[in-house]
Each structure stands twice: as structure tokens, then as C-alpha cells.
Structure 1
């Protein structure tokens, strides 16, 4: 089994040591933060479908050993064919040995390499606080809710440049997210500058939908947002935190590294459109 490790904008393949890699621990937790509209288990694996919106919610989370059923691939492809969707696999360090090579041989193309990054909550809180003091954004207000209100959801679609047609999907997704969860927005003069969602399970906090308005990037707003997410999650008992970020998003990766995050492992998708 191999994972991708991010180094200076290049991807290199390195052997995975499952005893030390956090992927096997975090992947199942992270999957709970993005629940699909419909899902079923194929033994250890979770098969997910959500009208084709996002790869994460429309892919097989291949964690653990292969299914014992020798027809597992045919059955998965038949399921996605019945949903009028491409077959997609989420392949990570928690996937069984040889899966990536098997899918490639079956015509699945590699898509969206991502990083799984983790950090100590206390370290991120301290670093983000220091950055916050340096930036001195005293006029920014932080507002938390336990579910996204209409303004939060509208701003989310706008900042992510998602079409209005996705509103119902994301509203349902946020409602399905498990407790404890919180939705934050940073405001200045009535304008939403940034958004984020925090979810806590055990000692781990996961952050998703972390986005800053394009007109306010590079001004330290990201540090304010990460400080708010970290402080809230620590109040819920989290001691560690993780993020899943597209590897090519260098500004985001750089921000997280400055806050103490390290790339624990990588994952990507394997996609087959012609079923």
C-alpha cells in the first residue's frame, strides 16, 4: 500500500506504515462529518450516494480488508449504474493493499489528491491567538449557531461559488451531521468575511467548509477563523484536530502548517465514468 506525501508541490509515493499513520483512526471519524443521503455497508466498506454532489458523498469509503464477496467490484459498479452516477472510490492509507493498483487496472482514473493534516488543539489555539494579536482585527465579530441559518447558508454558497441548486443538498447535509457541531461566521460591518463548521467526536475535532471571502484573503482572517474553530472545539472536549485539504491548494496548506498542522497521510479518488 502506498500513500501520497506532499513535498514542495510534488507528489511522491512512500510506503505506508499503518501502525504509525493516523489515517486508520481519522478516516472513519471524518466520514461521519459528511454523511451521504443514502448509504449501505458492503462488509467493512461504506457505499455512499448523494445525487452526484461532491465526491466524498458519492464514493466508496474503502476502509479495512476487501469484502469476502468475490463480486464486490461488479456489485459496486452496478449500484452506481443504477443511481446514474460514476463509480468512485475513496482510497487512503486505511484501504487494503493493492486496491489502488486494482482500480487503475480496471480503468479507474486518479482524481483529486488530498492531504489529511492533524495537529494539537492547544498548539493551534496558541499560534492562532498570536497571529490574531499581530493582525489586531478588533472590529471582527464571531457568531456561533448550532445549525446554519439562512444568512450562513446563503454566504456559504456565495463564498464557495456553488449554484443555488445545491442549497437543498447542503441544507440536508448539515442537518445530517452528527453532534457536537457548530457553525461559525466572522462579521465586520454586517458583512460575512469567513465561515466554518466544527464537529467533535471524542478527542478529535474536524473542520469543514473553511472558507474566507476572496476580497479578504491574505489579511489574517484565516487565523481568526481557525482560532474560533479551535476554541469552540476545545470547549467541547477536543484535544486534537484534523483537516482534509486538496493538495494543490497551497495557500490553505501553508496556513495550516503555520498553525502547527502536519500532513499525516494522503488520499485520493479513483473514478470510472464509463460503467
Structure 2
């Protein structure tokens, strides 16, 4: 990894490079001049108040104090693979979870209890990837109490249909009186074909944060409080897309959200106003987001679609997305 120009180490990145793939070298905080350097390569996702956040291929963000940098440069994105992705359930489930993070969470063995003041089931349900460390009946009691203390219904998100998923846990939850409320498919595809679609993307605007106009199209909450913005803004490298509409209040015709996380790009919140449908706007939004994700080195795509959303399922079929597994939300009986 070469950083030198004429034998000198130089920092050649700035906050203007947020969103680009970078390589940086730093010394440990408080270390002397002779300390060993540490190198990090990944997407520069933020640079605020003297701290850089970089997301490498692992998806686990790294925070670096600006004062510790000794060198840095922008590097070309890794070439995207054009074949379809292969994914284990555990890898994909963890990528999905990183793309939609709660406001607070707590471990229960290998389970993760998640809450975000009730905004979406995904951010307010248990992610049971492993053993809770307790007999199941005791673990379910702990789950009920934890959510009850927060005034929330107790949900557990399970998965079926792929190797390593949780068919036995689903059966046990039903035996304990938990009720399955919602099911959805997790679909995957190669990312490059989505970015290569012949779609009109010139009107699609990409932003790092959801503005008031974007939020006016996203109809999943009553009031966009801090908890909503924290969930929407969570993830390694987050992008928001919008297509301007002709409404006087500035509400976009279409919106979308994408989280780039190592080799994965996750698509969420793709919505088109009823009066703008059948114009290809959803395809335009996803194509623009896919191209940005390809620029950041991603090569595979995932999304979630509810099993009764026939219009979206048909669109994703045409884009090459295939079902990987299903997830289900079980709710504790009153």
C-alpha cells in the first residue's frame, strides 16, 4: 500500500471525499513517533468533529481520530462481481440487521433485543441468531418483561426457508402461544445488472440524509421524531434517493433508501406516489442507487418484500431478484 510522494507520507483526503473508497494509515492515539502504523481500506462514510468513520468490506465501521492520520488517499472501488451472489443465512441476516438498527438494544445470550419507540417491527423485535443462554420459556419471559418495561408489544423475528434458519423456533413459539402476524421474503440478486438497467436516472437526486420532502413521501410514521431519523440514518453507508414531483408542498414523486455494507447493497423504502405509478420511477430510483453502491465496491443486492405485495414482487422478478428466505414476526399473546 503506497502512500508516499517523493518519500513523504501525505494525507490527501478531505471531508469532501465522504462516500468514496479510501485507504488511510494512522498511528494509535497517544502513541509516540516510533509506533507501528495501522492501515484501513473502506468507504469513508462520515467526517465530523475531527472523527472519520470508515466502513471496510466486513461491514463493521471503524472510527478514526483525524489527529492520528499520517497518510490517506482515495482508491478505486473494487471491481464488482457480475455473477449472482451466494449467501449464508447468518451473513445475510446480519447485513439486514445492520441496515435497520434500533435506538437501543441489549443482548440475551446470542439473541439481540431491539427497540426504537415502536417504529417498525424490524427495529422493535428480537433477532434470535443463536442460543439465548436460557431455557426457552425463561428467555421468552425475559423478552416479555423487557418490551413491557418500554410499553411495547413483544415481537420475535424468525426466518424459514434456507439452511440455518429457524423452523424449530417457529414451532416452539407457536407452542408457547405466540402468534405469527407478518411474513416477508428476503430476496437477493447480483447488483451489476440492476445498475445496468436502461432506466432514466437524470432526475434522481441522492442525499446522505432524508430531508423534509423525502419524509413526506415515506408514510410509515405519524411524526418524524428523533427515533425515526436514527433508524433511517443507521447503517454503514446510507443513501436516500428522490425524484421531484409536481406537488406544491414539494413531496417527491418517488423515493428510495440504500445501505452499502461491504459486498452488500440493501434496498428499502422504495415508494412511488399513486399518481406517478407506471412511469418506471421505482426502477429509476433503484438503478441510481445501485450505480452508487457499485461505485462503493458492492456486488450483491438484497431487499425485503411482503408476501402480499404483488406489484413489488413482479418488479423485483424482472430485476432478477430471487427469494433467499422468509422472515416472520411472532407476537406474544396478550
The interval holding the TM-score normalised by the smaller chain is: 0.7 to 0.9
State the 4+ residue runs in structure 1 displaced beyond 6 angstroms: none
For residue 95 of structure 2, give the secondary structure of its aligned residue in structure 1.
Answer: helix
Distance 1:191 1:48 in 2: 31
Quickly say closer, same or farther: Cα 1:169–1:258, change in 2 above 3 A: same
Deviation at 1:220, TM superposition (A): 1.3
Quote the residue 2:96 is aligned against.
30
Comparing both structures, which one devotes a greater share of its residues to helix? 1
1:206 aligns with one of 266, 269, 273:
266
Structure 1: which 5+ runs fail to align?
1-19
Deviation at 1:161, TM superposition (A): 6.1
Quote the residue 1:154 is aligned against.
216
1:90-239 map, 5 Å: 90-93=157-160, 94-96=164-166, 98-126=168-196, 128-129=197-198, 132=199, 141-156=203-218, 160=219, 162-163=221-222, 165-175=223-233, 177-188=234-245, 192-239=252-299
Structure 2: which 5+ runs fail to align?
1-85
Deviation at 1:55, TM superposition (A): 0.7
Quickly say closer, same or farther: Cα 1:168–1:97, change in 2 above 3 A: same
1:68 aligns with one of 124, 133, 137:
133
Deviation at 1:262, TM superposition (A): 0.4
The structure whose Rg is larger is 2
| More relative contact order, 1 or 2 (CA 8 Å, 6+ apart) | 1
Quickly say closer, same or farther: Cα 1:273–1:49, change in 2 above 3 A: farther
| Contact kept? 1:119, 1:242, Cα under 8 Å | yes
Number of paired residues?
Answer: 241
2:148 aligns with one of 81, 90, 93:
81
Q: TM-score, normalised by structure 2?
A: 0.68
1:48-59 map, 5 Å: 48-59=114-125
Distance 2:94 2:120 in 1: 18
What is the RMSD computed on CA atoms of the aligned residues?
2.0
